[in-house]
């Protein structure tokens, strides 16, 4: 398959930061309690992150991403469109 034959996936729905954490956690087959045990982040905090009650934060994103085997940006910027120009 040639690169020109590849089309980017269409965005189907918007996902919040908390939803992205939950989705990746579930894809890894982990409960909130198991993730809490592995990350040393209280289960109540993980629940609050997943319900978008509190902000994820950079350090927690790095800790969660390490256990969830993904890049922190996957959790922090779930709807990021790299094709659009940014202010940076």
| Per-residue model confidence (pLDDT) at position 79 | 73
Which pLDDT belongs to residue 39? 97
- With vertex at residue 65, the alpha carbon angle to CA 61 and CA 68, rounded to the nearest 5 degrees, is 140
pLDDT digit string, tens, across residues 11-50: 667 889 999 999 999 999 999 999 999 999 999 999 999 9
pTM: 0.76
Tell me if 12 is assigned to some domain.
no
Greatest mean pLDDT among 7-11, 43-47, 69-73 lies in 43-47
- The residue range of the domain holding 55 is 17-76
Helix-helix angle 58-68:17-27, to 10 degrees: 20
CATH of the domain at 50: 1.10.260.40
With respect to residue 50, please indicate whether it lies within any of the assigned structural domains. Answer: yes
Q: Is residue 61 part of a domain?
A: yes
Render the burial of 62-75: b for 16+ CB within 10 Å, e for the rest: ebbbebbeeebebb
Provide the pLDDT for residue 83: 65
63 phi, psi to nearest 5 deg: -65, -50
In a domain, 88, yes or no: no
**pLDDT reading at 8 higher than 80:** no
Does any domain span residue 37? yes
Structural domains counted in the chain: 1
Residue 27 domain flag = yes
Rounded distance, CA 87 to CA 79, Å? 16
Domain for residue 58, yes or no? yes
Question: Which among 30, 4, 21 has a CA at the least distance from the CA of 73?
Answer: 21
């Amino acid at each position: 398959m040639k690169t020109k034959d590849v089309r980017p996936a269409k965005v189907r729905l918007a996902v919040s930061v908390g939803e992205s954490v939950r989705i990746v956690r579930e894809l890894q087959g982990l409960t909130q309690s198991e993730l809490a045990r592995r990350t040393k982040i209280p289960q109540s905090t993980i629940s609050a992150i997943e319900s978008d009650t509190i902000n994820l934060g950079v350090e927690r994103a790095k800790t969660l991403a390490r256990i969830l085997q993904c890049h922190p940006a996957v959790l922090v910027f779930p709807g990021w469109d790299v094709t659009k120009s940014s202010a940076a």
